[in-house]
């Protein structure tokens, strides 16, 4: 026998059920809601892959035999423990095939000092607001690192995030979270790293105080922020060019948004595939001297490439592909010894290829579909 489901059967007075251990080929076992208690569990399932043990009465200890199910792939222990329970890390460490672990509605109060929760690149599903709003999660006040990226979480991110006041690192990338960014997220004054890319977030990040928008006043609370990644959403960023942010960003990526930056300490700037219109400021390189990565591709920028970009001594890669830039390429790149790649393709550039480009240790140079001339 490989499949057996006894869920809902009261085995309180049944002594022979433990003979199931003799079923050496058993792979799927459902014993949810069977009124099992800790003392009645003395079994050995070496071949089991699917086990539903939810809705029982196991007290405050995980049965030892559960810690060594070497073939287990699906394990449901939800609503089975009635007292404070230490999270069964042995189940995760000892079972390399485990793909699903459900611990819902258990009083895991010994996690009250948890400061880092990293569950990325799994197949977790469910509503993000329910996950964060669970009142039994007593680590809300201590958690500093939250990474549940690249799962299958859905729903709206709501004001329950306000309970995690110590968060420094939030990574929710690669899920199916919808709706606007909640106002309460911008009250997390300890936040340094924010990654919301590749979701279905909507709304505006604006300097006007309108419903569904995030104001400059709200951003003012994030004084420690150094990393923002909100690409591949449906957000609009429309912050006043005169606004000076209170944080010192090292990396900003808003690809596939509608955005405009203003932060002199940036090291990475990705504003590709936006609706940027107009010229790159000729003093751009003077204002952002620490930039290493620039990506403005697939916008509607026109005018000339600023010669001040040659003052970015740490510049590693610059991508201005698919714009409407015109005029000659500045001949001033010789001193940028860290520059590795440039793509100025699909613009309206004219003149000769500058001699200073030839002296660089470039691994990529894209100049296709322009009006350049001369020998190279």
Q: What is the pLDDT of residues 2-37, one digit of tens each?
A: 898 988 888 777 666 666 667 778 889 888 988 887
Within a domain: residue 67? yes
Angle at 237 between CA 233 and CA 243, to 5 degrees: 150
Q: What is the mean pLDDT of residues 282-310?
A: 90
Q: What is the mean pLDDT of residues 41-45?
A: 65
pLDDT of residue 66: 78
Question: H-helix or E-strand containing 102?
Answer: strand 100-102
Q: What is the mean pLDDT of residues 153-179?
A: 89
- The two tokens of residue 112 are 């009250």
Range with lowest mean pLDDT among 81-90, 271-280, 286-295? 81-90
Q: What is the mean pLDDT of residues 247-260?
A: 66
pLDDT at residue 315 above 70?
A: yes
Comparing 320 with 6, the larger pLDDT belongs to 320
Contact yes or no for 206/239 (Cβ under 8 A)? yes
Q: Which residues pair with 214 in a beta bridge?
A: 205
pLDDT of residue 134: 62
Handedness of CA 189, 192, 196, 202 (dihedral sign): positive
pLDDT of residue 109: 47
pLDDT band at residue 90 using 50, 70 and 90 as cut-offs: low
pLDDT of residue 341: 95
pLDDT of residue 211: 32
| Cα–Cα distance, 212 to 174 (Å, whole number) | 22
pLDDT band at residue 83 using 50, 70 and 90 as cut-offs: low
24-27: long-range contacts (C-beta < 8 A, 24 or more apart)? 25/1, 26/1, 26/2, 27/2, 27/3, 27/71
How many domains would you assign to the chain? 1
| Cα–Cα distance, 182 to 212 (Å, whole number) | 8
Q: What is the mean pLDDT of residues 56-79?
A: 80
Comparing 168 with 220, the larger pLDDT belongs to 168
Q: How many CA atoms lie within 13 A of 338 on its CB side?
A: 13
pLDDT of residue 168: 94
Can you give the length of the chain in residues?
376
CA nearest neighbour of 357 among 326, 318, 321, 322:
318
35-38: long-range contacts (C-beta < 8 A, 24 or more apart)? 35/10, 35/11, 36/11, 38/63
pLDDT at residue 240 above 60?
A: no
Contact yes or no for 363/341 (Cβ under 8 A)? yes
What CATH number should be reported for the domain holding residue 24? 3.80.10.10
Q: What is the mean pLDDT of residues 337-344?
A: 95
Within a domain: residue 3? yes
- The two tokens of residue 215 are 């104001």
| Cα–Cα distance, 322 to 300 (Å, whole number) | 8
pLDDT at residue 229 above 90?
A: no
Contact yes or no for 187/159 (Cβ under 8 A)? no
Q: What is the mean pLDDT of residues 287-315?
A: 91
pLDDT at residue 353 above 60?
A: yes
pLDDT at residue 310 above 90?
A: yes
Question: H-helix or E-strand containing 285?
Answer: helix 284-287
Within a domain: residue 58? yes
pLDDT at residue 62 above 80?
A: no
Within a domain: residue 39? yes
CA nearest neighbour of 259 among 237, 290, 292:
237
Within a domain: residue 27? yes
| Maximum Cα interatomic distance, the chain, rounded to a whole number of Å | 93
pLDDT at residue 89 above 80?
A: no
Q: Which residue is listed with tokens 């509605």?
A: 105
Handedness of CA 219, 247, 145, 84 (dihedral sign): negative
| Cα–Cα distance, 355 to 333 (Å, whole number) | 9
| Cα–Cα distance, 202 to 116 (Å, whole number) | 28
What are the tens digits of pLDDT across the range 116-143?
A: 888 788 777 788 887 787 654 567 888 8
Within a domain: residue 342? no
pLDDT of residue 264: 58
Q: Which domain holds residue 1?
A: 1-111
Q: What is the mean pLDDT of residues 339-345?
A: 96
Whole-model pTM above 0.85? no
Percentage of the chain beyond pLDDT 90 is 23
Within a domain: residue 161? no
| Cα–Cα distance, 373 to 325 (Å, whole number) | 16
**Mean pLDDT over all residues of the chain?**
80
pLDDT of residue 93: 66
Q: What is the three-class DSSP state of 70? A: coil
Within a domain: residue 139? no
pLDDT at residue 257 above 90?
A: no
């Amino acid at each position: 026998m490989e499949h057996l489901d006894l869920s809902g059967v009261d085995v309180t007075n049944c002594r022979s059920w433990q003979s199931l251990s003799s079923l050496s080929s058993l792979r799927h076992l459902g014993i949810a809601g069977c009124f099992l208690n800790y003392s009645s569990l003395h079994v050995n399932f070496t071949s089991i892959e699917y086990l539903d043990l939810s809705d029982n009465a196991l007290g405050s200890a995980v049965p030892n035999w559960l810690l060594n199910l070497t073939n287990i792939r699906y394990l449901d222990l939800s609503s089975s423990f009635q007292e404070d329970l230490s999270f069964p890390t042995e189940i995760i460490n000892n079972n390399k095939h485990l793909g699903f672990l459900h611990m819902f509605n258990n009083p895991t109060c010994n996690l009250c000092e948890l400061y880092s929760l990293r569950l990325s690149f799994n197949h977790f599903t469910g509503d993000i607001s329910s996950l964060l709003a669970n009142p039994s999660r007593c680590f809300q006040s201590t958690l500093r690192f939250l990474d549940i990226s690249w799962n299958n979480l859905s729903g709206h991110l709501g004001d329950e995030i306000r309970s995690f006041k110590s968060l420094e690192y939030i990574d929710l990338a690669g899920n199916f979270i919808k709706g606007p960014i909640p106002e309460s997220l911008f009250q997390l004054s300890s936040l340094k790293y924010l990654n919301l890319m590749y979701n279905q977030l909507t709304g505006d990040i604006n300097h006007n105080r309108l419903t569904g928008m995030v104001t400059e006043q709200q951003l003012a609370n994030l004084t420690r922020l150094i990393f923002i990644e909100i690409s591949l959403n449906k957000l609009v960023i429309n912050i006043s060019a005169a606004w000076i942010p209170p944080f010192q960003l090292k990396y900003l990526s808003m690809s596939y948004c509608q955005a405009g930056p203003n932060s002199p300490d940036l090291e990475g700037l990705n504003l590709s595939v936006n609706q940027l219109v107009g010229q790159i400021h000729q003093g751009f390189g003077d204002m952002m001297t620490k930039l290493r990565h620039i990506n403005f591709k697939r916008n509607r920028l026109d005018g000339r490439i600023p010669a001040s970009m040659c003052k970015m001594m740490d510049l590693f890669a610059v991508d201005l592909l698919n714009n409407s830039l015109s005029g000659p390429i500045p001949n001033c790149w010789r001193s940028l010894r860290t520059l590795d790649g440039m793509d100025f393709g699909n613009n309206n550039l004219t003149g000769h290829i500058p001699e200073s480009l030839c002296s660089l240790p470039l691994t990529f140079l894209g100049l296709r579909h322009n009006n350049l001339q001369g020998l190279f």
